[in-house]
Amino acid sequence: MPNQSTVGEKKVLDDDIPFGISHEQIVDIPVDLRGFNNLYIDFLVSLTVSIDDNASRMARSSMLAIHSAACLINENEPISREVMEAMNKHLAEAAPEEIKVIIG
């Protein structure tokens, strides 16, 4: 079962904080109103526009993606699989935030 329910609550900034000047990004980020996940073996970055429940769906989709990649296809599969999520990192970093520092 995916650990989708362990994603923290969305953290939003106060509406009184004005938008700042943006800087050119070093990497290209795909723009998709539904959201976007980019999964590596040890690193996951999820981005979305916060419309309706997109942020909640996006945050939980990463856990589903990991689960789908790691789950047994057949209960008789000869290779056992462990839980792939790094739960300590997940619990500390998985909640949606309007500002998030991504170190890599």
User: What integer pLDDT is reported at residue 16 of this predicted model?
Assistant: 93
Hey, what are 66's tokens? 């990991």
The model's pTM: 0.48
User: What integer pLDDT is reported at residue 38 of this predicted model?
Assistant: 62
Query: Tens of pLDDT along 60-91?
Result: 887 888 777 777 667 776 666 666 777 777 77
- How is the chain split into domains, by residue range? 4-14+28-93
Taking a C-beta distance cutoff of 8 angstroms, is the pair 69, 84 a contact? yes
Kindly tell me if the per-residue pLDDT of 41 is higher than 60.
no
Mean pLDDT over residues 39-54, rounded? Answer: 74
pLDDT over 90, % of the chain: 1
101: exposed, middle or buried (Cβ count in 10 Å: 0-12, 13-18, 19+)? exposed
What's the CA dihedral at 53, 54, 59, 63 to 10 degrees?
100
The string of DSSP letters for 2-39 reads: --GGGSPPPB---TTSPP------SS-----TT-EEEE
When pLDDT is cut at 50, 70 and 90, the band that residue 39 belongs to is: low
Question: Measured between alpha carbons, how far is 24 from 26 in angstroms, rounded to an integer?
Answer: 7
